């Protein structure tokens, strides 16, 4: 009599077939690439023609794991990898980076507050999500860990290898090849997005979020920029509105904050109604 598991799966499992394939006699036929099971053939999966499949897999793997872990919403923290912790600020290579170290502290405090809130939902809501690297990302994951909660790290393969920081929850530490899929995962569950001073990567993530909200492709969420002086120095938002390339109301898609407490207050009182 069949047990319940075998009735639910009347055919051999893929894992079982993969193991069986490894036990085949060693012959010219079994050694040939054509004989490998397609799903176990790395050379085949990495072919140029298989890029659509790899894109799908990279979207699906984190999605399934996050669903299995019960993560329903996230609080995203974008920001520079080069911003030092206060105790390391004297090692910063520029005066500006040294000054920006204060935002490491605010990122840490913000992540701590939001994780304490997340714990009240058994870790389902308001889960801290960073890029998993150093700087502001490390501060976010560290704050979540020290608060006793879990946090997500969405890493990316770069020419100069960047290991995940030590505070990302191991089971939620992902690695991406495609920037586009990684950015989708940043925003798919986002209840709020915070953006700390950073470089090209941070700017890319900021403008992606702004564009999605502006065009109505994403439900409005609190979009909070830490450090008004920094952002006003590198981006002349009003000039874009004056030129007519964005609308005046688009300047209301984001808010400036300086402290974690300010950010939390805005999130708590956020009105998702789009601006007129």
How many CA atoms does the CB half-sphere of 17 hold within 13 Å? 11
Question: Percent of the chain beyond pLDDT 70?
Answer: 92
Rounded CA gap, 226 and 197, in Å?
A: 7
pLDDT of residue 276: 47
The model's pLDDT over 230-243, given as tens digits with 9 standing for 90+, comes to 999 999 999 999 99
Where does the pLDDT of residue 52 fall: very low under 50, low under 70, confident under 90, or very high at 90 and above?
very high
Q: Is 72 helix (H, G, I), strand (E, B) or coil?
A: coil
The structural domains of the chain, with segments of one domain joined by +, span 71-266
pLDDT of residue 1: 43
The model's pLDDT over 59-77, given as tens digits with 9 standing for 90+, comes to 999 999 999 999 999 999 9
On whether the CB atoms of residues 151 and 174 are closer than 8 A, the answer is no
pLDDT of residue 5: 54
Q: Which residues contact 182 (CB under 8 A, 6 or more apart)?
A: 154, 156, 176
pLDDT of residue 17: 63
The model's pLDDT over 205-215, given as tens digits with 9 standing for 90+, comes to 999 999 999 99
Rounded CA gap, 242 and 230, in Å?
A: 21
Q: Does domain 71-266 have CATH number 3.30.930.10?
A: no
Rounded CA gap, 182 and 157, in Å?
A: 11
Instruction: Report the chain's mean pLDDT, rounded to a whole number.
Output: 92
Q: Is the pTM of this model over 0.85?
A: yes
């Amino acid at each position: 009599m069949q047990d319940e598991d075998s009735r639910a799966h009347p055919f051999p499992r893929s894992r079982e077939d993969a193991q069986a394939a490894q036990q085949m006699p060693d012959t010219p036929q079994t050694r040939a690439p054509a004989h490998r099971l397609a799903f176990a053939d790395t050379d085949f999966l990495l072919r140029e023609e298989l890029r659509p499949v790899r894109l799908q897999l990279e979207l699906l793997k984190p999605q399934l794991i996050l669903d299995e872990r019960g993560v329903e919403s996230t609080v995203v923290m974008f920001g520079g990898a080069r911003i030092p912790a206060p105790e390391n600020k004297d090692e910063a290579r520029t005066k500006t980076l040294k000054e920006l170290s204060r935002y490491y502290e605010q990122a840490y405090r913000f992540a701590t507050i939001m994780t304490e809130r997340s714990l009240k939902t058994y870790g389902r809501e308001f889960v801290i999500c960073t890029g998993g690297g150093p700087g502001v990302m490390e501060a976010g994951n560290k704050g979540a860990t020290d608060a006793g909660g879990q946090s997500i790290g969405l890493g990316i393969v770069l020419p100069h290898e960047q290991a995940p920081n030590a505070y990302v929850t191991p089971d939620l530490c992902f690695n991406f090849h495609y920037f586009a899929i990684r950015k989708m995962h940043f925003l798919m569950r986002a209840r709020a997005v915070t953006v700390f001073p950073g470089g090209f990567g941070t700017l890319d993530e900021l403008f992606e979020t702004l564009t999605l909200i502006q065009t109505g492709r994403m439900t409005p969420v609190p979009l909070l920029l830490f450090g008004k002086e920094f952002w006003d120095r590198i981006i002349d938002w009003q000039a874009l509105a004056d030129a007519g390339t964005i609308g005046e109301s688009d300047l209301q898609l984001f808010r400036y904050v300086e402290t974690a407490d300010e950010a939390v207050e805005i999130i708590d009182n956020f009105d998702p109604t789009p601006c007129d």
